[in-house]
Amino acid sequence: MTSTSLKKIIVIGAGPAGLMAAERAVDAGFAVDVYDAMPSVGRKFLLAGKSGMNLTHAEAHSDLLERYSNSSLQLRAALDAFPAQAICDWASSLGVATFVGSSKRVFPVDMKAAPLLRAWLHRLRVSGVNFFMRHKWQGWTEEGHIFQTSEGAKIVHADACIYAFGGASWPRLGSDGAWLSPFQAQNLTVEPLTASNCGFELAWSDYFKQHFAGRPLTSVCASVVSSSGIGSKRQGQFVITDTGVEGSLIYALSATIRRQIELAGYCELQIDLLPGRDLSRVQKELSMPRGSRSLSSHLRSKLGLHAIHTALIHECLRPEQIQDTDQLALALKALPIKLLRARPIEEAISSAGGLQWSELDERFMLKKKPGHFCAGEMLNWDAPTGGYLLTACFATGVAAGQGAIAWLKE
């Protein structure tokens, strides 16, 4: 049988989710064409490799499922079928060995994305996948899919289609959320795409910005104060920026921070600057005679705090709170930082929101459009950094690919 007599599956979006779906489909013997708006594939995947490609996470599978909070249930079958170990095996099948870092994050040995993507694309091409770059999907017509290309509009027909448009962070890499309008025009419900795993803004003084922007605060605990009390406590590090705060500790809390800002107009973050010492010990150390020493050197000698901590205390507390030993001790264990808004989605690592789960059946097929499947970050799930984003993209790519295969075989 020639490939033209095979049933054709098209995949739109050549990120990790789309490529994973394409691989399933071609391995099952279908003709597969991959379309993407950009001149080359996997641009965000490559960017992810710049700061150390974190492919997945080696914690217990039940813990990993919990990272998808509101969407654990909907993602469960896909993640069960393609868990963290399957991702490592898949990377290994491409000649890329992985290792588990100290925080149980899983990385390729060279930490890079490019060799993995290169080997993957080679295997896909050899298997028969065709790539059509600079094809921007615009929506549907009676005849099929309409793409904008350098030669004008092009109509493409397929037996099944898998959409993997991504979210809307870093839009210059291709995923710009333009798919939302055609989807909404077909009465497909989409939650607005909002910044996730992003920095948050607050108004630092000029002095603080000039001296401490770019500096990290390591080994601290952060908790979000919400109307129902203090929750979501995490330990880690974050970075002071010109406009506020960013970094892994903030990203881990970003879903909760975002919700709290939506509810109250701001979010109070409490920072425990001394997680290794309890309040009574901090009080005792602070009460020791200070003599002629400045507060800064007292905090350094008694509690090991540095200039950045002292400056942060001055940013966040009133002078009378700093003078009062009890209030200061309390603040060192729970320094209130008022976050006002998320940084723009253009800078975020990922986006939350996307196509509502109720639009999909268990095969990741649109209930209103049989034969049309969706995968990856365009779906309405959210997760912190730590390899969870790519894990869900790979797993939903596999699930949508399998879904399309099963549907075409029916």
Which residues of the shown chain bind ligand FAD in the complex (CB under 6 A)? 12-18, 35-38, 43-45, 47-48, 51, 53-54, 136-137, 164-166, 169-170, 174-175, 178-179, 349-350, 376-377, 387, 389-390, 393
Minimum CB separation from ligand FAD for residue 219, in Å? 22
Q: Which amino acid is at 209?
A: K
Task: For residues 250 and 239, give the distance between their C-alpha atoms in angstroms, rounded to a whole number.
Answer: 9
Q: How far is the CB of 38 from ligand FAD (least distance, A)?
A: 4
For residues 87 and 240, which CB has a smaller minimum distance to ligand FAD in the complex?
A: 87
Comparison of 180 and 365: residue with beta carbon closer to ligand FAD: 180
Distance of closest approach, residue 386 Cβ to ligand FAD, in angstroms: 7
The nearest distance, CB 325 to ligand FAD, in angstroms, is: 43
In whole angstroms, give the CA distance from residue 136 to residue 12.
Answer: 9
Beta strands 267-272 and 152-156 are unpaired
Question: Is the Cβ of residue 249 or residue 328 nearer to ligand FAD in the bound state?
Answer: 249
Q: What are the DSSP calls for 256-320, one per residue?
A: HHHHHHHHHSSEEEEEES-TTS-HHHHHHHHHS--TT--HHHHHHHHH---HHHHHHHHHHS-HH
Phi and psi, residue 118, nearest 5°: -60, -50
Minimum gap (Å) between residue 147 Cβ and ligand FAD: 7
Nearer to ligand FAD by Cβ, of 164 and 299: the residue is 164
DSSP string, 86-113: HHHHHHHHTT--EEE-TTSEEEETT--S
State which residue, 272 or 377, has the beta carbon closest to ligand FAD: 377
Write down the least CB distance from residue 261 to ligand FAD, Å: 21
Alpha-carbon distance of 390 to 377, in angstroms, equals 9
Minimum CB distance to ligand FAD smaller for 83 or for 174: 174
Q: Quick count: other Cβ atoms within 10 Å of Cβ 65?
A: 18
